[in-house]
Structure 1
Amino acid sequence: MFSLQELLLFALAALLLVLTPGPNMVYCVSRSLTQGPRAGLLSLVGVVLGFLVHLLAAALGLTALLLAVPMAFDAIRVAGAAYLLWLAWQAVKPGGAAPFEPRALPPAGRRRLLAMGFMTNLLNPKVAMFYLSFFPQFLHPERGHWLLQCLLLGAVQIAVSAAVNALLVLFAGRVALFLNRSPRWIAAQRWLMGSVLALLALRILTDRKPA
């Protein structure tokens, strides 16, 4: 369905995106700093469950739409490319740095940790937009099995995100200290992510896939 090269390219793109501090990462690391790594990992389990909900919604929605209206494929890809260009600009625009600022959080029990991690991700609209804009760039209409393609890409993205965030949770103190003291690294990461997103979007707009 996908070649090894395609999966590695998608995994690399997912890795670059997950390395950008966002609500999920900041929450999990904050929880780890204030309540310990175990609490951070439990919160991460909730985040992963939120990813599964977003993934199923996006996969089923995209599959239903593309099967009903095949011509919608190109429209979705172009709209997704425009969104990726907007994300690229958000990453590199002046004052657009995403500082890593862990927050002090009150202690919580296991169920609350899972629930808060789940809701933090579920209520993050950027996750849904990521799936809807990113997935179509790697789908292959000529290979069929839309749903299986979406689910496989989602499994790769979730695995990459879970692995990276688990490492960040386990080394939360050192990571927070490093990022807070390394503005050059943050700037370099922003430009790297912005460049990758922009190049991917331009490739999408200039290279039409066969129907």
Structure 2
Amino acid sequence: MDFVLPNATSLGLFVSAALALLLMPGPAVLYLVGRSIEQGRTAGLVSIAGIHAATVFHVLTAALGLSALLASSALAFAIVKYAGAAYLIWMGLRKLFAPVPGLGTGASALARHSNWRLFRDGFIVNLLNPKTALFFLAFLPQFVDVALGHVAVQIFTLGILFTALGLITDTSYAMAAGIAGSWLRGNRSYLRFERYFSGFLYIGLGVTAALAGNGKK
């Protein structure tokens, strides 16, 4: 596939708008920050890989026009929306009702998830977010130059550029949260309340996803 980009002015506007949106934390960012605090920077980075693997899927569906089908079908939108919300709430409930870790073992007391599970959870969280698909459907075409032709290729190219910018901003969030988490995981008070913080965070994200209209990634 040949990459087709709009002119420099449109491209500059796209990058500026994309960075402004990405720097405002949405559900995916809050999710990876929670993972980074819980388990460190590596866990945050693996979660980012899962999140953006799903982002690439959404970009492909936008380029192929499948997002239009999702936007036009209230039933399809509702099914995907509530499935994603239910998954987040389930993660929160699982965290709340997990056994309380011992307080004498420091960071190792927190449950550690495998890289595969971190990747899978990040992928599902973003895959089952229909607002991501609708965002690409509404945002990317604004920067497409019809005169260049290959509209689907332009949408795909802009989507990949958005994903690359997202990797940069999300990595910054994960690194900062991982540093903070290193201190928090050694704090006895944090170990006592960590499961409540994380559990209610995931449940809150799920409720937000179920009730909110179009919003950030």
TM-score range with shorter-chain normalisation? 0.5 to 0.7
* 1:14-68 superposed Cα distances (whole Å, 9 cap, x missing partner): 1111112111101111111110100000000001100011000010117999xxx
Q: Is the 8 A contact 1:44 1:117 kept in 2?
A: yes
Shift in Å at residue 106 of structure 1? Answer: 4.4
Unaligned ranges ≥5, structure 1? 66-102, 177-211
Q: Give the 5 Å matches for 1:1-211.
A: 1-61=5-65, 106-172=111-177
* 1:144-182 superposed Cα distances (whole Å, 9 cap, x missing partner): 111210111111100111100001101116789xxxxxx
Cα distance in 1 for partners of 2:33, 2:62 equals 27
Unaligned ranges ≥5, structure 2? 70-94, 97-109, 182-217
- CA radius of gyration, larger in: 2
Alignment CA distance shift 1:135-1:175 (3 Å) = farther
RMSD across aligned positions (CA): 2.8
Alignment CA distance shift 1:51-1:43 (3 Å) = same
- Secondary structure of the 1:49 match is helix
Cα distance in 1 for partners of 2:145, 2:54 equals 26
TM-score by length of 2: 0.59
Identity between Structure 1 and Structure 2 (%): 41
Cα distance in 2 for partners of 1:141, 1:152 equals 14
* 1:57-89 superposed Cα distances (whole Å, 9 cap, x missing partner): 010117999xxxxxxxxxxxxxxxxxxxxxxxx
Number of residues paired by the alignment? 141
